[in-house]
Amino acid sequence: MPPVLPFELVVTGKPVSHQTKDRKRLQAWKTKVRSVAEAYWTLGKPTGDFLRVTITHYYDTEPGAEEGVPDSDNIVKPIRDALNGVIYVDDYQITDFVSRRRNLNSSFRVKGMSSVLAEGFCQGEEFLHIRVESAPDPADLS
């Protein structure tokens, strides 16, 4: 059975930057992301398709006091590495990628929220929402 896309998961907790000097903490984070992905991805083998991946980091801090929030570009690599071999064969398959940060202390207007994203908000703590879908046609440059 081919994997069903789009696919979503949430990982609670503060993401770890690939630039951290604490390699044990980084490895623990990658292990957590991988184990959560394995729990959500119940279809067996990874997809070999080209993909679009969107990672949104919902962080918890007072507005204006965001200096402790990791840069979105620094949290991406460990997440992409953790999903290798679970969701996709290799991250070379990701042709389109979006990384976003959103403060949980902001107001949101959400239409058609997925149950997975709702689960993230209901945890009551910082989390990542990861969405994997088929990549758009590479011939479409729009």
Evaluate if residue 112 carries a pLDDT over 50: yes
CATH of the domain at 83: 3.30.1330.70
Q: Which of 102, 31, 52 is nearest to 72 (CA)?
A: 102
Asked whether the beta carbons of 88 and 45 are under 8 A apart, the reply is no
pLDDT band at 105 (very low <50, low <70, confident <90, very high): confident
> Is 142 contained in some domain?
no
Question: What value, to the nearest 5°, has the Cα angle with vertex 84 and ends 81 and 85?
Answer: 150
Single pTM value for the model:
0.89
Strand 94-103 and strand 51-59: the pairing is parallel
Please write the tens of the pLDDT for every residue from 16-62. 988 888 899 999 999 999 999 999 898 789 998 899 999 999 998 87
As a whole number, the mean pLDDT across the chain is 88
Structural domains in the chain (count): 1
Give the C-alpha separation, 67 to 48, whole Å: 38
Domain that holds residue 32: 7-134
